[in-house]
Structure 1
Amino acid sequence: MTSFRTTSVGEVRDLAIAALENAGVPGPAVDAELLIGHVLGMGRGQVQAAIVMGREVSGEHAEEIAALVERRATREPLQHILGVAPFRALELFVGPGVFVPRPETEQVAQFAIDALGADSAPEPIGIDLGTGSGAIALAMATEVPHARIYAAENSVDAFIWAKQNFRKVGASNATLVFDDLARAFSELDGQVSVVISNPPYVPAAAIPRDPEVRFFDPAAALYGGQDGLDVVRQLSVTAARLLRPGGTLVIEHGELQGEAIRDILTRDGWRAAATFRDLTQRDRTTTALRA
């Protein structure tokens, strides 16, 4: 059991960093400051200022911080402990049963946001299939407010989180439904400007390296069949049904899957399939246009 017998914010931070480093947690200083701030009701900058000023911490708060550090040292995701995850300009509720939105997905969402913003329709329609926490759909809804955004999720646990986030953000142009992506939104067939998805794409035999992913992200959000592309194949069919001619499909995927996904889309009759790298120079996003 971790215990911090100290009265200084700086000392608590040092002990937290040491415990997280020993557990192999990446970025231990950032996590330590965020956990301290969570307990003390401060942002990271305020925590750093408190350290410089020699601010003291009550024994009760020190023990609360120690308990959270112990949880993080088991590699429980930081976002689960804090109860929220940032995504672009949003802060979303997350926890067990829903995939935690990643920074790389923010760049994937940009492709959909740009395509919606460039659409000449007075109310372009965007759809997020397999919305999880609702991150992509709510980013589109808030950043392209003249668009109509629809999101589908078929996991009960994830849907509960998405529903909370839709309520929290309160975007009046966003609609969430509980449905499977194969049959969702048939009433919008042929009317949609953008379809985006971050589907499960990990091959069934692959084991994610990070414990935060391997032990805490829901399997249904990770694994996409033998080659990881089963859901992508369905996305190709569903998006072709939903999109108007010239509409854009945006898919997030693993760094080695771009070529295979372009082949799938091209065989299905999509135009201009192209793969783009993320900020770490790994293939991350494939887009295509409805013929």
Structure 2
Amino acid sequence: MKNWIYIRRSWQLYVLLVLPLIYFVLFKYGPMYGVQVAFKDFNFFQGIAGSDWVGLDIFREVFQNNDFFKALRNTLFLNLLDIVVSFPAPLILAIMLYELRIAWFKKMAQTILYIPHFISWVIIGGIVLQVFGTQSGFINNMLHGFGIQAIPFLSDKYYWLFTYLIVGVWQSAGWGTILYLAALTGINKELFEAAEVDGANRFRKIWHISLPGIKTTIATLLIINLGNMVAIGFDRPFIIGNVAVRDFSDVLSTFVYRIGMQSGQISLATAVGLFQALVGLLFLLGANYASKKLADESIL
């Protein structure tokens, strides 16, 4: 009875939940019906229900595919580098912005940092080509003007790896900064005042107040990133990558696109997607357990 009274009093809040619930049912839970394709010899004309069951044969085919293991290796490698390089970037930027005292410069810097997150990866791909292109890129044109040999940022796999990481930091750091800034503003200002009275310099206040004050946010974002170790976005490696650097740029998302959309092997692509989801779940649970044991912070 009490629940019904509360619902009647706050029915507007429940109405607001309807659209998100519909979205999740249609686009998150509904597609789970198609997971069975990973265990069937899928036929377009017979559909999911009419296709023949083949058990684990599709998974055996996946694990016998050398390209799959190369894509898995690249996915883990690129995600690990992203955690090492891209994960600390927004944290450092947020602390730097938080410590700024000139209000107009702080707002301008925040705006400049946030903008790349809202730019389409197609547009970013064009920007990358204009800046890092071997023949017509801005950097190589400038180097050529000084008589220095062009650097193959996009055609040599090791230089491409550097370009991939730099572009990733530029595109994502501003958005992550918002989360850390929000957490930093929640720290009690009296702690900083007390530390200043005790003679603590700015670095000491950051180390002993700012970082401990947002450790929950840091742990949560780190757990989420570790949970996505085998799930990598399609846009970034596909748009920036090319055939010359496929040894590094071919990841699970591009592999699924190639065998699913280009080759029509829907069952194989579904099996790889299911593998990603299950392994990602294991990474997420493992990272959450380790965080809970080591730092007493977790999301579950």
- Hey, which of these two has a bigger chunk of strand by percent? 1
Using CA pairs under 8 Å that are at least 6 residues apart, name the structure with larger relative contact order, 1 or 2. Answer: 2
- The structure with the larger Rg is 2
With normalisation by structure 2, the TM-score equals: 0.24
TM-score of the aligned structures, taking structure 1 as reference length: 0.24
Q: Which has the higher helix share?
A: 2
